[in-house]
A = this chain, B = another copy of it.
Amino acid sequence: MDDSLFNPRSVAVVGASPHFVSGGTFFLRALLAAEFPKERLFPINPKHEEMYGLKVYPSLQSVPHPVDYVIVIVPKDATFKVMEDCVEKKVKLVSCFTSGFSEIGNKEDERRLISIAKKGGVRVLGPNCMGLCVPKNRLVFDTGIESGEEWAGNISIISQSGGNADVMIIIGNGIGLKFNKAVSYGNGSDINADELLEYFKNDPQTNIILQYLEGFKTIEQGRNYLKTLRETTLKKPVIIFQGGTTAIGKRSIFSHTGSISGDNRVIEGAFKQAGAIMVKQGLHHLLYTALLISCFQKSNKLFKVGPNLGTILGGGGNNVYVADICSKIGLNFPAFDEEMNEWLKKNVGEVGTVLGNPIDMNAGMSGYKTAIKIMKLMDKIDQIDVITYETDFDWWLVSAKIRQKLDLYKEFDFKGLMESIMDTNVKTLIRNIKKIQKPVILISSQTFYDADIVSKRNELEETFRKADIPIINDMATMATVLKYLIDYKEYILRAK
């Protein structure tokens, strides 16, 4: 695969439509919302002359410019003619959104469509896919996706499902991830996962590869993929979520992308042996694994992770819960020595707290200065690998809000106090965490749902993310994804 496929000079949408609920309006609207340059965007539809302020061309041939990338959203029977037009127009890449091919058992039409493309030297994504998303090029496949230079990162996505690629990007953006390229390849009749992985292995703009995989078109593709996977994981982490791990899931796969999904345990075992991080429980875990890796790659702490935690959190019941979930996964809380316990007793106090590791500080942001001191002490304890701190933004914010509402403390300007936390406390916390040698993960539990709190919590979380300090919203997710990192580290140490 050639790099130019991801950097098309122009895009045509064949089957574009201005109609509210039509599939043909979807891609065009997304490209317009992302501010893809209008002079390089060509809607194709013989029934219209103008659409969203753009000139509409009756056919690809009538476009008076070269066209590199074509998105096809026409009825299935019209796709063959469109593909012939693409060949004639010397299009580089076609993404065929149209479905009704091998995913419903119609292998013949799929072979016919791809054969036209192959003969003409045109590469194809799909059919039955969403195609390309390259945020830095303002090339997106959904209106919800942020684009432009400021949204460009070094994470790339290989996804058989367009919806999953979409959700990965949008939810990923929400937790601080930035993407380089995403490819949804659907039925994968021409370009499949093996070729995409080979490309991303060598792509200097990609540091982390996320993948949603259902299966392969041929056994050979599967073999190529596995070989490439083994080479790739030594260079960059590959995080895979596999769909169709049950009989009913496999039935859904067949009708989704018409892939051969094989025996799941065999596949999972082989991928793991090739160094892939195999995420068990859906896209959220995949994204948070990427978040930890991304932050720790930047701060050079990825290979410092380990199973021994030093943990500051709030609430005795929460403490028990965290101890349970971490310990089930194989993470530990090394006991502190006498000196540390004495320090805690003196500085955190005995009343209403549980000393020991995890530390029940019941403090959150209001006790951040003590938390900094504790983290510095933990940084010196050899038995601790990773430090986690529950920031309690929600409680801090709601408490400030209610005090303000009650007007109980007239001597305090709470609005000012709330703003100052952004300027002073958070800066102090970030400055100090950056000095800590061990990996640090913040936990920001989501307790309150009202828009006001959510918005302020987002602002606070954003500040930390910008400093490459990872924030995860619950301990269970943190524990699971940290374990993935530890396993990956151990694989790399063994493989080297």
Contacts and interface: CB of A to CB of B under 8 A. Distances in A.
A358 B249 CA distance: 10
A246 B399 CA distance: 33
Contacts of A452: 451
Nearest to A264: B324
Interface string A26-41: 0001001100000000
A159 B317 contact: yes
B450 A458 contact: yes
A395 B166 CA distance: 11
Nearest to A253: B320
Contact of A476 (B97, B256, B282, B314): B282
Contact of A33 (B281, B282, B405, B451): B405
Contacts of A399: 143-144
A450 B461 CA distance: 12
Interface stretch (A117-125, A195-203, A325-333, A487-495): A325-333
Nearest to A76: B351
A247 B320 CA distance: 10
Contacts of A316: 103, 161-163, 252, 255-257
Contacts of A402: 29, 33, 143-144
Contacts of A458: 449-451
Contacts of A451: 451-452, 454-455, 458
A148 interface: no
A340 to B, nearest CB: 15
Q: Is the interface of A mostly helix, strand, loop or mixed?
A: helix
A257 B318 CA distance: 12
A99 interface: yes
A190 interface: no
A104 interface: yes
Contacts of A32: 406, 408
Interface stretch (A57-65, A167-175, A220-228, A375-383): A167-175
A164 interface: yes
Nearest to A167: B447
Given A163-B314, A246-B327, A320 B104 contact: no
Interface in A7-50: 20-21, 23, 29, 32-33
Interface in A42-88: 52, 75-76
A148 to B, nearest CB: 15
Interface of A: 20-21, 23, 29, 32-33, 52, 75-76, 97-100, 103-104, 128, 143-144, 159-164, 167, 170-171, 174, 212, 214, 243-249, 251-253, 255-257, 281-283, 314-328, 332-333, 350-356, 358, 360, 362, 366, 395, 398-399, 402-403, 405-406, 408-409, 412, 447-452, 454-455, 458, 476
10 contacts: A99-B350, A100-B350, A128-B352, A144-B399, A144-B448, A171-B447, A214-B317, A244-B324, A255-B356, A256-B319
